[in-house]
């Protein structure tokens, strides 16, 4: 995880870093409370992916979180 954080801080856009930090803070808080909403976690993960796509030049993407998650979770189909 530390290697990923270092790479993000060096190479990612501000929005990717913001999305990643939000995801980490929310995940850590949920673990402490032992109450985690899987849909919320996955939605935050998808937001990171969407921000990375924008960072790579897909500025006008029409994809939403659900579209991203369909590649990872078969139940969404």
Angle at 44 between CA 38 and CA 45, to 5 degrees: 90
Model pLDDT, residue 8:
83
Tens digits of residue pLDDT in 5-43? 888 889 999 999 999 999 999 888 888 877 777 888 889
Supply the pLDDT for residue 4. 80
The pLDDT-based confidence of 54 (bands split at 50, 70, 90) is: very high
> How many domains does the chain divide into?
1
pTM, entire model: 0.79
* pLDDT at position 52 over 90: yes
Range of the domain at 23: 2-76
DSSP string of the chain, one letter each residue: -HHHHHHHHHHS-HHHHHHHHHHHHHHHHHHHHT---HHHHHHHHHHHHHHHHHHTT-TT----HHHHHTTT-GGG-
CB atoms within 10 A of CB 16: 21
Contact 16, 48 (CB under 8 A): yes
């Amino acid at each position: 995880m530390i290697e990923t954080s270092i790479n993000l801080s060096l190479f990612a856009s501000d929005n990717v870093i913001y999305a990643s930090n939000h995801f980490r803070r929310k995940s850590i808080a949920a673990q402490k409370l032992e109450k985690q909403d899987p849909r919320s976690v996955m939605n935050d993960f998808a937001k990171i992916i969407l921000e990375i796509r924008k960072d790579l030049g897909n500025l006008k993407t029409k994809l939403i979180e659900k579209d991203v998650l369909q590649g990872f979770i078969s139940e969404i189909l």
